[in-house]
Amino acid sequence: MAELVGNLLVAQSGGPTAVINASVAGVIQEAGKHECIEEIYGGLNGILGILNEELIDINEEKAKTIEGLKYTPAAGLGTCRYKIDFKKKPEQASKDMDRLFEVFKAHNIRFFFYAGGNDSQDTAHKIHEEAIKRGHEMRVIGVPKTIDNDLPHTDHCPGYGSVIKYNAATVMEVAFDVSSMATDDGSCCLIEVMGRAAGWIAAGTVLAKRLESDAPHIILMPEIPLNEAVFLAKVKETVASHKYCIVVVGEGLKNAAGEEIGADKSRLDAFGHPVLSGAAERLAEIIQGKINLKTRTVKLGYAQRAAEHYASLTDSQEAVACGEAAVKAAVSGQSGLMVKIVRTQTSPYKWTTGLQPLGDIANVEHFLPRDWVTEDGFLPNQKFIEYARPLIEGEVKVPTEGGLPKFAVLEKVRIDKQLPPHVK
């Protein structure tokens, strides 16, 4: 195969993680080693920014800043939740593709890397297929990212190890606080974590348990419908034994009818899903109303995916490696693939990277296996613990200034636009 020469474009989309910028750093640093890659561009705010021809010149950034992305949270290039939807919006999707390839051709983009989760890999897959259809020689590689850990065919997703490391530590800290105030009346603290359809994040907090009596005492995962009566009995039993009960709940927890208990159906997100406004609050209402127990709620929200100060070093190193592997694959002539993490050994933990066709990844969700959860459905079992424990090892050393983290900030020098303004 003849060597493909041209410019590289990297972008991010979906919810950020503590290590998504590390993947971008891996792409950029590896790209600099290959002469076939002439210019390195970043797309601002994902595919939405590319449609608007909002590109920046990565070569104008300092090497120190790119290295600094490895310990900087959020999406350094900016992100979006824009979906190219041929099924529901075929006319708009066709226009979007026309515009994307106008941008690609105007800036001689021959290498495209998209870091993100399910929808992002779907977008990368569509771009790969369109490039073939249009005869535009181009290498498209997806870079995995999602704290939800729900991408198939990869052992786990960059971002997951860091979120469960922070969440497990937070559960331990909150539990120490709550237990120190435990009285004969008892109390229950409900900690809500992210995870709409999959319970990987909630399950990860089980790593906080060193003794059977330690928190979390109950973990509620979206895959397992809530049996209200059994749940309330478990809370009462736990409070009777310990004077307090710590419950971790995934935001997408469902009732017996399969309805999300925290959903606000009057408000929809960018993908048409009801906004999840408070599974923990709903459970608190149930507990207070049915067993008259004092409750408190904690919602970790954005903090759990932005906690770079307590990110997993293993997670960060894997994120960088995924970015590097993406470039190596593209330069070698491969396209239409996503980088995946392959576990070769659990104890001691060993891993490598591999590649999977984007068509196998796009819009497919990987759920927590039922046999990784105790029979009563309230805690992950030893199988899950052995899987998850290696992913939180090590700490990212974040530079500080004035006692607080010092994160990298890109200069974002814009590339001159070559096209008329984008019209939706």
Work out the angle at residue 271's Cα, subtended by the Cα atoms of residues 112 and 52, and round it to the nearest 5 degrees. Answer: 40
Annotated binding-site residues read: 15, 118, 146-148, 194-196, 251, 302-305
Annotated binding-site residues for diphosphate read: 15
Residues of each domain in the chain carrying CATH 3.40.50.450: 6-146+308-363+396-405
Asked if 119 and 148 touch (Cβ cutoff 8 Å), the reply is no
The residues, any chain, with a CB within 8 Å of residue 191's CB and separated by 6 or more, are: 170, 171, 174, 205, 216, 246, 247, 248, 249, 280, 297, 298, 299, 300
Whole-structure pTM value: 0.94
Annotated binding-site residues for Mg(2+) read: 118
Q: Rounded to whole angstroms, how far apart are CA atoms 195 and 250?
A: 5
Phi, psi at 69, each rounded to 5°: -60, -20
Give me the pLDDT at residue 276, please. Answer: 61
Annotated binding-site residues for substrate read: 146-148, 194-196, 251, 302-305
Give me the pLDDT at residue 3, please. Answer: 87
Active site residue 57: no
| Per annotation, catalytic residue among 96, 119, 148, 150 | 148
Residues of each domain in the chain carrying CATH 3.40.50.460: 160-306
Give me the pLDDT at residue 277, please. Answer: 65
Give me the pLDDT at residue 272, please. Answer: 59
**Fold classified for 6-146+308-363+396-405:** Rossmann fold (3.40.50)
Q: Rounded to whole angstroms, how far apart are CA atoms 322 and 157?
A: 10
The arrangement of secondary structure in 160-306, i.e. its CATH architecture, is 3-Layer(aba) Sandwich (3.40)
Low-confidence residues in the chain, pLDDT < 50 = none
In the structure encoding, which two tokens stand for residue 177, read together? 């606080």
Q: Rounded to whole angstroms, how far apart are CA atoms 82 and 256?
A: 32
The residues, any chain, with a CB within 8 Å of residue 60's CB and separated by 6 or more, are: 411, 413
Q: For CA atoms 328, 412, 144, 123, give the dihedral sign.
A: negative
Amino acid at 15: G
